[in-house]
Structure 1
Amino acid sequence: MIIKVLIADDHRLFRDGLKRILAETADIVVVGEATDGPDALEKMRRGGWDVALLDVNMPGMNGLEVLKRVMNDDAKRQVLMLSTYHEDEYAIRTIRAGASAYLTKNSPTDLLISVIRRLANGGKYIDAKLAEKLLFDLGPTSTISLHSTLSDRELDVLKLIAVGISLTEISQKLALSAKTVSTYRARILEKMNMQNNAQLVRYVAEHKLLE
Protein backbone atom coordinates (compact mmCIF):
# COMPACT_ATOMS: atom_id res chain seq x y z
CA MET A 1 0.00 0.00 0.00
CA ILE A 2 1.36 3.41 -1.02
CA ILE A 3 0.46 6.14 1.45
CA LYS A 4 -0.34 9.44 -0.27
CA VAL A 5 0.63 12.46 1.84
CA LEU A 6 -0.36 16.11 1.52
CA ILE A 7 1.96 18.65 3.20
CA ALA A 8 0.48 21.99 4.29
CA ASP A 9 3.07 24.41 5.68
CA ASP A 10 3.98 27.99 4.75
CA HIS A 11 7.74 27.43 5.14
CA ARG A 12 9.28 26.06 1.96
CA LEU A 13 12.44 24.82 3.70
CA PHE A 14 10.34 22.76 6.11
CA ARG A 15 8.25 21.32 3.26
CA ASP A 16 11.39 20.44 1.33
CA GLY A 17 12.84 18.79 4.43
CA LEU A 18 9.74 16.68 4.91
CA LYS A 19 9.77 15.64 1.25
CA ARG A 20 13.38 14.52 1.52
CA ILE A 21 12.61 12.49 4.63
CA LEU A 22 9.54 10.84 3.13
CA ALA A 23 11.30 10.19 -0.19
CA GLU A 24 13.53 7.71 1.66
CA THR A 25 10.53 5.48 2.46
CA ALA A 26 9.22 2.95 -0.02
CA ASP A 27 5.57 3.20 1.00
CA ILE A 28 5.03 6.97 1.38
CA VAL A 29 4.74 9.49 -1.44
CA VAL A 30 4.02 13.23 -1.29
CA VAL A 31 1.15 14.00 -3.68
CA GLY A 32 0.65 17.69 -2.96
CA GLU A 33 1.72 20.80 -1.09
CA ALA A 34 -0.13 23.82 0.31
CA THR A 35 1.49 27.10 1.30
CA ASP A 36 -1.21 28.80 3.38
CA GLY A 37 -4.54 28.15 5.09
CA PRO A 38 -6.94 28.73 2.18
CA ASP A 39 -4.67 26.73 -0.15
CA ALA A 40 -4.58 23.88 2.38
CA LEU A 41 -8.37 23.89 2.74
CA GLU A 42 -8.89 23.76 -1.02
CA LYS A 43 -6.41 20.94 -1.59
CA MET A 44 -7.59 18.92 1.39
CA ARG A 45 -11.19 19.17 0.18
CA ARG A 46 -10.07 18.12 -3.30
CA GLY A 47 -8.96 14.74 -1.89
CA GLY A 48 -6.51 12.32 -3.41
CA TRP A 49 -4.49 11.92 -0.21
CA ASP A 50 -4.47 9.50 2.72
CA VAL A 51 -2.75 11.56 5.43
CA ALA A 52 -2.38 15.35 5.62
CA LEU A 53 0.48 16.96 7.54
CA LEU A 54 -1.02 20.26 8.62
CA ASP A 55 0.88 23.11 10.26
CA VAL A 56 -0.91 24.79 13.17
CA ASN A 57 0.25 28.29 12.20
CA MET A 58 -0.29 29.41 8.62
CA PRO A 59 -1.17 32.76 7.02
CA GLY A 60 -4.69 33.44 5.80
CA MET A 61 -6.27 30.77 7.99
CA ASN A 62 -4.59 28.86 10.79
CA GLY A 63 -4.34 25.10 10.83
CA LEU A 64 -7.03 24.66 13.46
CA GLU A 65 -9.56 26.55 11.37
CA VAL A 66 -8.66 24.46 8.33
CA LEU A 67 -8.96 21.28 10.38
CA LYS A 68 -12.40 22.15 11.72
CA ARG A 69 -13.74 22.97 8.26
CA VAL A 70 -12.36 19.77 6.78
CA MET A 71 -13.79 17.72 9.64
CA ASN A 72 -17.20 19.21 8.91
CA ASP A 73 -16.88 17.90 5.36
CA ASP A 74 -15.64 14.42 6.19
CA ALA A 75 -15.02 13.16 9.73
CA LYS A 76 -12.89 10.29 8.41
CA ARG A 77 -10.02 12.53 7.33
CA GLN A 78 -6.66 11.51 8.77
CA VAL A 79 -4.81 14.67 9.75
CA LEU A 80 -1.48 14.92 11.56
CA MET A 81 -1.03 18.36 13.08
CA LEU A 82 2.52 19.71 13.24
CA SER A 83 3.60 22.63 15.39
CA THR A 84 6.53 24.36 17.02
CA TYR A 85 4.47 24.61 20.20
CA HIS A 86 5.31 22.16 22.95
CA GLU A 87 2.53 22.99 25.39
CA ASP A 88 -0.32 20.52 25.79
CA GLU A 89 -2.95 23.19 25.23
CA TYR A 90 -2.38 23.25 21.47
CA ALA A 91 -2.30 19.48 21.24
CA ILE A 92 -5.56 19.16 23.15
CA ARG A 93 -7.27 21.73 20.95
CA THR A 94 -6.24 19.94 17.77
CA ILE A 95 -7.27 16.50 19.03
CA ARG A 96 -10.65 17.83 20.15
CA ALA A 97 -11.07 19.48 16.74
CA GLY A 98 -10.67 16.11 15.02
CA ALA A 99 -6.95 15.63 14.37
CA SER A 100 -5.75 12.04 14.47
CA ALA A 101 -2.34 12.99 15.86
CA TYR A 102 -0.22 15.92 17.02
CA LEU A 103 3.57 16.16 16.82
CA THR A 104 6.02 18.97 17.41
CA LYS A 105 8.31 19.81 14.51
CA ASN A 106 11.39 18.57 16.34
CA SER A 107 9.96 15.06 16.78
CA PRO A 108 12.23 12.17 15.72
CA THR A 109 12.00 11.19 12.06
CA ASP A 110 11.20 7.57 12.87
CA LEU A 111 8.28 8.67 15.04
CA LEU A 112 6.90 10.87 12.26
CA ILE A 113 7.01 8.03 9.75
CA SER A 114 5.52 5.58 12.24
CA VAL A 115 2.62 7.94 12.99
CA ILE A 116 1.93 8.53 9.29
CA ARG A 117 1.71 4.77 8.75
CA ARG A 118 -0.54 4.33 11.76
CA LEU A 119 -2.91 7.04 10.53
CA ALA A 120 -2.95 5.58 7.03
CA ASN A 121 -4.22 2.34 8.58
CA GLY A 122 -7.06 4.19 10.29
CA GLY A 123 -5.39 4.58 13.66
CA LYS A 124 -4.55 7.54 15.86
CA TYR A 125 -1.53 8.63 17.86
CA ILE A 126 -1.62 10.42 21.19
CA ASP A 127 1.41 10.85 23.42
CA ALA A 128 0.95 9.06 26.75
CA LYS A 129 1.33 12.30 28.72
CA LEU A 130 -1.23 14.04 26.53
CA ALA A 131 -3.66 11.12 26.77
CA GLU A 132 -3.48 11.30 30.55
CA LYS A 133 -4.15 15.04 30.49
CA LEU A 134 -7.10 14.59 28.14
CA LEU A 135 -8.64 12.04 30.50
CA PHE A 136 -8.01 14.33 33.45
CA ASP A 137 -9.57 17.35 31.74
CA LEU A 138 -12.67 15.32 30.91
CA GLY A 139 -13.10 14.29 34.52
CA PRO A 140 -15.83 15.87 36.69
CA THR A 141 -13.36 17.41 39.12
CA SER A 142 -10.95 18.83 36.56
CA THR A 143 -9.92 22.45 36.79
CA ILE A 144 -10.26 24.32 33.49
CA SER A 145 -7.73 27.10 32.91
CA LEU A 146 -9.12 30.49 31.92
CA HIS A 147 -7.54 30.44 28.49
CA SER A 148 -9.13 27.06 27.77
CA THR A 149 -12.47 28.87 27.53
CA LEU A 150 -11.23 30.97 24.60
CA SER A 151 -11.86 30.16 20.97
CA ASP A 152 -8.84 29.46 18.77
CA ARG A 153 -8.97 32.95 17.26
CA GLU A 154 -9.36 34.55 20.69
CA LEU A 155 -6.28 32.67 21.86
CA ASP A 156 -4.37 34.00 18.84
CA VAL A 157 -5.39 37.57 19.69
CA LEU A 158 -4.50 37.07 23.36
CA LYS A 159 -0.97 35.99 22.49
CA LEU A 160 -0.45 38.88 20.10
CA ILE A 161 -1.65 41.33 22.74
CA ALA A 162 0.78 39.74 25.19
CA VAL A 163 3.79 40.47 22.96
CA GLY A 164 2.85 44.14 22.70
CA ILE A 165 1.29 44.26 19.24
CA SER A 166 -1.33 46.97 18.79
CA LEU A 167 -4.90 46.12 17.80
CA THR A 168 -4.31 47.73 14.39
CA GLU A 169 -1.26 45.56 13.79
CA ILE A 170 -3.15 42.49 14.97
CA SER A 171 -5.95 43.22 12.51
CA GLN A 172 -3.41 43.41 9.68
CA LYS A 173 -1.60 40.26 10.80
CA LEU A 174 -4.78 38.19 11.10
CA ALA A 175 -6.52 39.80 8.10
CA LEU A 176 -9.39 41.01 10.28
CA SER A 177 -11.02 44.40 10.68
CA ALA A 178 -9.94 46.57 13.61
CA LYS A 179 -13.52 46.42 14.92
CA THR A 180 -13.46 42.62 14.89
CA VAL A 181 -10.17 42.53 16.78
CA SER A 182 -11.57 44.95 19.36
CA THR A 183 -14.56 42.65 19.77
CA TYR A 184 -12.24 39.67 20.31
CA ARG A 185 -10.31 41.64 22.95
CA ALA A 186 -13.55 42.51 24.76
CA ARG A 187 -14.61 38.86 24.74
CA ILE A 188 -11.22 37.76 26.05
CA LEU A 189 -11.38 40.23 28.94
CA GLU A 190 -14.92 39.14 29.76
CA LYS A 191 -14.24 35.40 29.61
CA MET A 192 -11.05 35.70 31.67
CA ASN A 193 -12.60 38.17 34.11
CA MET A 194 -9.86 40.77 33.57
CA GLN A 195 -9.88 44.52 33.14
CA ASN A 196 -6.93 45.49 30.96
CA ASN A 197 -4.04 44.35 28.76
CA ALA A 198 -1.58 44.40 31.64
CA GLN A 199 -3.52 41.63 33.38
CA LEU A 200 -3.63 39.65 30.14
CA VAL A 201 0.13 40.01 29.67
CA ARG A 202 0.75 38.85 33.23
CA TYR A 203 -1.53 35.83 32.77
CA VAL A 204 0.17 34.79 29.53
CA ALA A 205 3.60 35.07 31.18
CA GLU A 206 2.55 33.12 34.27
CA HIS A 207 1.06 30.30 32.18
CA LYS A 208 3.97 30.32 29.71
CA LEU A 209 1.63 30.46 26.72
CA LEU A 210 4.29 31.94 24.46
CA GLU A 211 6.90 29.22 24.98
Structure 2
Amino acid sequence: MEITRSALAQMIDHTLLKPDATHGQVSALIAEARELGTYSVCVSPSMLPLTDDLGEVKVATVCGFPSGNHTPEAKAFEAAQASKNGADEVDMVINVGLLKEGRADLTEAEIRAVREATTGVLKVIIESAALTDDEIVAACKAAEAAGADFVKTSTGFSPAGGASVHAVELMNETVGGRLGIKASGGIRDYATANAMIEAGATRLGLSSSSAVLDGADGVEVEAEGDY
Protein backbone atom coordinates (compact mmCIF):
# COMPACT_ATOMS: atom_id res chain seq x y z
CA MET A 1 0.00 0.00 0.00
CA GLU A 2 1.29 3.46 -0.88
CA ILE A 3 2.01 5.95 1.86
CA THR A 4 0.61 9.47 2.05
CA ARG A 5 2.67 12.62 1.81
CA SER A 6 2.32 13.63 5.46
CA ALA A 7 3.11 10.15 6.77
CA LEU A 8 6.09 9.85 4.43
CA ALA A 9 7.44 13.23 5.50
CA GLN A 10 7.56 12.02 9.10
CA MET A 11 9.85 9.16 8.03
CA ILE A 12 12.44 11.44 6.40
CA ASP A 13 15.80 12.63 7.67
CA HIS A 14 16.21 15.64 5.33
CA THR A 15 19.92 15.42 4.62
CA LEU A 16 22.83 17.65 3.62
CA LEU A 17 26.23 16.01 4.09
CA LYS A 18 28.19 17.34 1.13
CA PRO A 19 31.73 18.24 2.19
CA ASP A 20 31.41 21.73 0.69
CA ALA A 21 28.07 22.54 2.37
CA THR A 22 27.82 26.00 3.91
CA HIS A 23 25.98 27.27 6.97
CA GLY A 24 23.68 29.15 4.63
CA GLN A 25 22.75 25.93 2.87
CA VAL A 26 22.06 24.28 6.21
CA SER A 27 19.75 27.16 7.13
CA ALA A 28 17.92 26.63 3.84
CA LEU A 29 17.72 22.89 4.59
CA ILE A 30 16.10 23.59 7.96
CA ALA A 31 13.59 25.99 6.43
CA GLU A 32 12.69 23.41 3.79
CA ALA A 33 12.39 20.66 6.43
CA ARG A 34 9.92 22.78 8.38
CA GLU A 35 7.93 23.49 5.23
CA LEU A 36 7.88 19.84 4.15
CA GLY A 37 7.20 18.51 7.64
CA THR A 38 10.13 16.09 7.71
CA TYR A 39 11.07 14.26 10.88
CA SER A 40 14.58 15.65 11.08
CA VAL A 41 17.48 17.31 9.36
CA CYS A 42 20.77 15.42 9.11
CA VAL A 43 23.90 17.57 8.89
CA SER A 44 27.62 17.28 9.50
CA PRO A 45 28.76 17.56 13.14
CA SER A 46 30.75 20.72 12.35
CA MET A 47 27.42 22.49 11.73
CA LEU A 48 26.29 21.93 15.33
CA PRO A 49 24.85 23.46 17.36
CA LEU A 50 22.11 24.64 15.01
CA THR A 51 20.84 28.13 15.77
CA ASP A 52 17.93 28.31 13.31
CA ASP A 53 14.35 27.85 14.50
CA LEU A 54 13.77 24.13 14.11
CA GLY A 55 10.16 24.01 15.20
CA GLU A 56 9.31 20.33 15.65
CA VAL A 57 12.20 19.14 13.44
CA LYS A 58 14.73 16.87 15.14
CA VAL A 59 18.50 17.13 14.67
CA ALA A 60 20.54 14.21 13.34
CA THR A 61 24.25 14.10 12.59
CA VAL A 62 26.92 11.61 11.56
CA CYS A 63 29.92 10.00 13.24
CA GLY A 64 32.98 8.35 11.68
CA PHE A 65 31.65 9.60 8.37
CA PRO A 66 31.95 8.57 5.60
CA SER A 67 34.68 5.91 5.70
CA GLY A 68 34.17 4.45 9.17
CA ASN A 69 37.93 3.96 9.40
CA HIS A 70 38.25 5.83 12.68
CA THR A 71 39.18 4.42 16.05
CA PRO A 72 36.32 3.55 18.39
CA GLU A 73 37.63 6.18 20.78
CA ALA A 74 37.49 8.88 18.09
CA LYS A 75 33.97 7.87 17.11
CA ALA A 76 32.84 7.89 20.73
CA PHE A 77 34.30 11.35 21.30
CA GLU A 78 32.66 12.67 18.14
CA ALA A 79 29.31 11.21 19.19
CA ALA A 80 29.58 12.66 22.70
CA GLN A 81 30.42 16.09 21.34
CA ALA A 82 27.54 15.91 18.86
CA SER A 83 25.13 14.96 21.63
CA LYS A 84 26.38 17.87 23.74
CA ASN A 85 25.87 20.18 20.76
CA GLY A 86 22.21 19.28 20.37
CA ALA A 87 22.07 16.16 18.21
CA ASP A 88 18.96 14.11 18.94
CA GLU A 89 20.25 11.27 16.76
CA VAL A 90 23.70 10.06 15.67
CA ASP A 91 24.31 7.96 12.55
CA MET A 92 27.66 6.17 12.96
CA VAL A 93 29.60 4.34 10.25
CA ILE A 94 31.07 0.97 11.14
CA ASN A 95 34.58 -0.07 10.15
CA VAL A 96 33.52 -2.18 7.18
CA GLY A 97 36.96 -3.73 6.79
CA LEU A 98 36.84 -5.24 10.26
CA LEU A 99 33.47 -6.81 9.53
CA LYS A 100 34.73 -8.25 6.24
CA GLU A 101 37.64 -9.77 8.15
CA GLY A 102 35.10 -11.66 10.24
CA ARG A 103 35.62 -9.52 13.34
CA ALA A 104 31.99 -8.88 14.18
CA ASP A 105 33.08 -8.84 17.83
CA LEU A 106 35.11 -5.69 17.16
CA THR A 107 32.21 -4.21 15.20
CA GLU A 108 29.99 -4.78 18.21
CA ALA A 109 32.60 -3.24 20.50
CA GLU A 110 32.91 -0.04 18.51
CA ILE A 111 29.13 0.33 18.26
CA ARG A 112 28.87 -0.14 22.02
CA ALA A 113 31.51 2.55 22.58
CA VAL A 114 29.46 5.01 20.52
CA ARG A 115 26.23 3.85 22.17
CA GLU A 116 27.65 4.70 25.58
CA ALA A 117 28.70 8.16 24.37
CA THR A 118 25.40 9.00 22.69
CA THR A 119 22.52 10.41 24.70
CA GLY A 120 19.90 10.06 21.97
CA VAL A 121 19.03 7.68 19.15
CA LEU A 122 21.91 5.71 17.60
CA LYS A 123 21.75 4.53 14.00
CA VAL A 124 24.45 2.20 12.66
CA ILE A 125 25.45 2.60 9.02
CA ILE A 126 26.59 -0.78 7.75
CA GLU A 127 27.31 0.17 4.08
CA SER A 128 25.20 -2.73 2.89
CA ALA A 129 26.15 -2.48 -0.81
CA ALA A 130 29.71 -3.40 0.13
CA LEU A 131 28.63 -6.47 2.16
CA THR A 132 27.56 -10.02 1.43
CA ASP A 133 24.22 -11.20 2.79
CA ASP A 134 25.97 -12.99 5.65
CA GLU A 135 27.89 -9.84 6.49
CA ILE A 136 24.70 -7.76 6.48
CA VAL A 137 23.18 -10.19 8.96
CA ALA A 138 26.31 -10.11 11.12
CA ALA A 139 26.36 -6.31 11.11
CA CYS A 140 22.70 -6.13 12.13
CA LYS A 141 23.21 -8.62 14.95
CA ALA A 142 26.23 -6.68 16.20
CA ALA A 143 24.24 -3.44 16.18
CA GLU A 144 21.41 -5.02 18.13
CA ALA A 145 23.75 -6.63 20.68
CA ALA A 146 25.49 -3.29 21.23
CA GLY A 147 22.25 -1.46 21.97
CA ALA A 148 21.74 0.52 18.77
CA ASP A 149 18.29 1.82 17.88
CA PHE A 150 18.52 1.56 14.08
CA VAL A 151 20.53 -0.07 11.35
CA LYS A 152 21.06 2.02 8.22
CA THR A 153 21.99 0.86 4.73
CA SER A 154 24.46 3.40 3.46
CA THR A 155 26.41 6.63 3.71
CA GLY A 156 25.59 7.55 0.12
CA PHE A 157 29.31 8.06 -0.50
CA SER A 158 30.46 4.48 -1.10
CA PRO A 159 31.49 3.48 -4.63
CA ALA A 160 29.75 0.16 -3.95
CA GLY A 161 26.38 1.92 -4.10
CA GLY A 162 23.49 2.91 -1.85
CA ALA A 163 20.31 1.34 -0.56
CA SER A 164 18.68 -1.67 -2.20
CA VAL A 165 15.34 -3.35 -1.60
CA HIS A 166 17.14 -6.65 -1.05
CA ALA A 167 19.36 -5.23 1.68
CA VAL A 168 16.41 -3.60 3.45
CA GLU A 169 14.45 -6.86 3.30
CA LEU A 170 17.38 -8.77 4.78
CA MET A 171 17.89 -6.18 7.52
CA ASN A 172 14.18 -6.35 8.30
CA GLU A 173 14.27 -10.15 8.49
CA THR A 174 17.21 -9.94 10.90
CA VAL A 175 16.23 -7.16 13.33
CA GLY A 176 12.89 -5.79 12.12
CA GLY A 177 10.42 -5.07 14.89
CA ARG A 178 13.24 -4.62 17.40
CA LEU A 179 15.44 -2.05 15.65
CA GLY A 180 14.41 0.63 13.19
CA ILE A 181 15.67 0.32 9.63
CA LYS A 182 16.87 3.37 7.73
CA ALA A 183 17.28 3.24 3.95
CA SER A 184 19.60 5.89 2.56
CA GLY A 185 21.62 6.43 -0.59
CA GLY A 186 20.20 6.87 -4.09
CA ILE A 187 16.52 7.27 -3.14
CA ARG A 188 15.39 10.09 -5.40
CA ASP A 189 11.73 9.38 -6.25
CA TYR A 190 8.52 8.31 -4.60
CA ALA A 191 8.40 4.86 -6.19
CA THR A 192 11.83 3.97 -4.81
CA ALA A 193 10.97 5.37 -1.38
CA ASN A 194 7.72 3.41 -1.26
CA ALA A 195 9.53 0.22 -2.31
CA MET A 196 11.99 0.67 0.58
CA ILE A 197 9.13 1.13 3.02
CA GLU A 198 7.35 -1.95 1.73
CA ALA A 199 10.64 -3.86 2.22
CA GLY A 200 10.74 -2.80 5.86
CA ALA A 201 12.33 0.66 6.09
CA THR A 202 11.02 2.77 8.96
CA ARG A 203 13.16 5.83 8.20
CA LEU A 204 14.58 7.30 4.98
CA GLY A 205 17.66 9.44 4.48
CA LEU A 206 16.94 11.80 1.59
CA SER A 207 18.51 14.84 0.01
CA SER A 208 15.77 14.92 -2.66
CA SER A 209 12.96 15.07 -0.10
CA SER A 210 10.78 17.53 -1.99
CA ALA A 211 10.84 15.50 -5.20
CA VAL A 212 10.09 12.28 -3.33
CA LEU A 213 7.20 13.86 -1.44
CA ASP A 214 5.74 15.35 -4.61
CA GLY A 215 5.26 11.79 -5.82
CA ALA A 216 2.99 11.09 -2.88
CA ASP A 217 0.47 13.76 -3.88
CA GLY A 218 -2.89 12.18 -4.56
CA VAL A 219 -2.35 9.10 -2.40
CA GLU A 220 -5.52 8.42 -0.42
CA VAL A 221 -5.48 9.73 3.15
CA GLU A 222 -6.94 6.47 4.43
CA ALA A 223 -3.60 4.76 3.78
CA GLU A 224 -1.86 6.97 6.32
CA GLY A 225 -2.87 4.95 9.35
CA ASP A 226 -1.13 1.86 8.01
CA TYR A 227 2.25 3.46 8.57
TM interval, shorter chain, is: 0.3 to 0.5
Q: Which structure's CA Rg is the greater one? A: 1
TM-score normalised per structure 1: 0.37
TM-score normalised per structure 2: 0.35
Which structure dedicates a bigger proportion of its chain to helix?
A: 1
Q: Which structure is richer in relative contact order (CA contacts within 8 A, separation 6 or more)?
A: 2
